[in-house]
């Protein structure tokens, strides 16, 4: 993605047609097709298929054999590069697969006792309308992977409060309750960074053969707030409330740390942090997140009694909260501002539409200037 797309707090991806239109405007002649996929399928890098696209365009007065000689002389990986080159050269849009078959959900695996518990838990999905099963299944898998079977059971209990709602509200609840329960904390980050699947993905993305040695450096910048959140709830709350203790902790921790996870010390450190996962419910961060989820559900249930579309938009506001550290703090601040506007909007017929507008405004820029402008409009309704 372009830097301008990455900077947007929400989904900043530009429409494909718009991107292609801009390319066409900037180029004398454009040659556009999915060269990345062609290169990946050939076991090569995109430079090879881009080279094929260049040869295909006829922009350079060189014979095809000269292009092939350049690739053949590159040495290692020349056969794969030639395959990607020819794939791009012979690409036919008419026969290209435009709708790839979606990947099937991974099958759960583990000890027999846990698999029995998973089967019993998974069977409860049948109590909900069929049209919502896919989303509930995804939410259940996410919460169980995040914590354990009891956490997944708690997810279904929260969802049960919306069981008699219309399918749209139930499906929205299934998505955003799971997202709220699976918050990003230091334990989660450490867990993901030490999983074998992540290292396999990094190797695949960088096209690194299995025999090659790889060095991985992770960057962390925890604030004192994150450290307190990882402490037992009472100790963490005391540390936050004690100015001197918190200030000392901030001086010790509020700095960037680079950790090499390709070695036993760095990897072992993160693994030990991830091993605190069974104690997550006793930590201060979980207390905060549980209180947030409880407040969100109460607000949504209250709205659902008279205005289900409004309840849907309220639940979708959970999208504003993501990440940890400063990113999480900014998202929570925006979320609080949007929900606070309900006091003015909840009696209006267009309340759902206005909450949607406020949420979209909050996602437009990091500083929240668009949200402040939209909130000013909402406040004018009360005058």
Task: Write out pLDDT tens, residues 38-66.
Answer: 988 888 888 999 999 999 888 899 998 99
Residue 196: pLDDT band with limits 50, 70, 90: confident
Q: For position 31, what pLDDT does the model report?
A: 83
Q: For position 373, what pLDDT does the model report?
A: 93
Q: In the structure encoding, which two tokens stand for residue 232, read together?
A: 């037992």
Q: For position 220, what pLDDT does the model report?
A: 83
SS3 state at 106: coil
Q: DSSP labels for 351-381?
A: HHHHHHHHHHHHTT-SS-HHHHHHHHHHHHT
- Is 102 a residue whose pLDDT tops 70? no
Q: For position 7, what pLDDT does the model report?
A: 65
Helix axes 149-160, 112-123, angle to 10 degrees: 10
Q: How large is the average pLDDT for residues 15-35?
A: 85
- Is 97 a residue whose pLDDT tops 70? no
| Residue 140 or residue 212, greater confidence | 140
Q: For position 364, what pLDDT does the model report?
A: 85
Task: Look at the pTM and tell me if it is higher than 0.85.
Answer: no
The CA-to-CA distance between both ends of the chain, in Å, stands at 43
SS3 state at 260: strand
Q: How large is the average pLDDT for residues 337-366?
A: 92
CA distance 367 to 376: 16
CA distance 371 to 359: 8
- Secondary structure of 229-254 as H, E, C letters: HCCEHHHHHHHHHCHHHHHHHHHHHC
CA distance 6 to 3: 5
Q: Would you say 231 and 222 are in contact if contact means Cβ atoms under 8 Å apart?
A: no
How many other β-carbons are positioned within 10 Å of the β-carbon of residue 202? 12
Q: In the structure encoding, which two tokens stand for residue 379, read together?
A: 């406040």
Q: For position 275, what pLDDT does the model report?
A: 94
Q: What is the pLDDT of residues 211-232, one digit of tens each?
A: 788 888 988 888 888 889 999 9
Q: For position 297, what pLDDT does the model report?
A: 97
Residue count of the chain, please give it.
383
- Is 101 a residue whose pLDDT tops 60? no
Percent of the chain with pLDDT over 70: 96
CA atoms within 13 A on the CB side of 191: 16
CA distance 91 to 96: 8
CA distance 33 to 35: 6
Q: For position 1, what pLDDT does the model report?
A: 67
Q: How large is the average pLDDT for residues 267-292?
A: 94
Share the mean pLDDT of the chain. 89
Q: Would you say 141 and 174 are in contact if contact means Cβ atoms under 8 Å apart?
A: no
Residue 290: pLDDT band with limits 50, 70, 90: very high
What are φ and ψ of residue 107, in 5° steps?
-85, 140
Residue 171: pLDDT band with limits 50, 70, 90: very high
Q: What is the pLDDT of residues 229-266, one digit of tens each?
A: 999 999 999 999 999 999 999 888 888 889 898 889 99
């Amino acid at each position: 993605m372009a830097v301008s797309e990455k900077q947007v707090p929400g989904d900043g991806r530009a429409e494909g047609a718009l991107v292609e239109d801009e390319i066409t405007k900037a180029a004398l002649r454009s040659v556009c097709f999915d060269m990345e996929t062609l290169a990946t399928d050939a076991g090569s890098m995109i430079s090879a298929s881009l080279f094929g696209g260049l040869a295909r365009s006829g922009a350079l007065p060189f014979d095809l054999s000269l292009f092939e000689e350049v690739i053949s002389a590159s040495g290692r990986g020349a056969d794969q590069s030639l395959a990607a080159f020819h794939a791009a050269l012979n690409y036919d849009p008419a026969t290209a697969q435009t709708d790839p078959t979606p990947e099937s959900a991974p099958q759960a695996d583990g000890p027999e006792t846990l698999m029995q518990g998973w089967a019993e838990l998974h069977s409860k999905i049948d109590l909900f309308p069929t049209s919502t099963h896919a989303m509930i299944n995804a939410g259940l898998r996410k919460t169980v992977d995040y914590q354990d079977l009891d956490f997944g059971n708690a997810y279904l209990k929260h969802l049960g409060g919306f069981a008699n709602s219309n399918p749209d509200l139930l499906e929205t609840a299934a998505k955003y309750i799971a997202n709220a329960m699976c918050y990003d904390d230091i334990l989660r980050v450490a867990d993901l960074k030490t999983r074998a699947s992540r290292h396999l993905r990094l190797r695949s993305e960088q096209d690194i053969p299995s025999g090659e040695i790889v060095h991985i450096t992770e960057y962390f910048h925890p604030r004192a707030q994150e450290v307190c959140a990882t402490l037992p709830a009472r100790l963490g709350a005391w540390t936050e409330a004690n100015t001197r203790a918190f200030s000392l902790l901030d001086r010790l921790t509020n700095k960037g740390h680079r950790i090499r996870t390709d070695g036993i010390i760095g990897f072992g450190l993160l693994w030990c942090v991830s091993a605190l996962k069974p104690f997550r419910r006793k930590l201060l961060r979980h207390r905060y997140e549980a209180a947030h989820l409880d407040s969100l559900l109460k607000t949504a249930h209250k709205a659902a009694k008279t205005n289900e579309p409004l309840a849907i938009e309220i639940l979708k506001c959970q999208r504003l909260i993501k990440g940890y550290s400063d990113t999480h703090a900014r998202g929570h601040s925006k979320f609080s501002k949007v929900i606070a506007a309900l006091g003015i909007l909840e009696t209006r017929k267009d309340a759902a539409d206005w909450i949607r507008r406020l949420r979209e405004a909050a996602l437009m820029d990091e500083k929240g200037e668009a949200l402040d402008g939209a909130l000013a409009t909402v406040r004018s309704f009360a005058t």
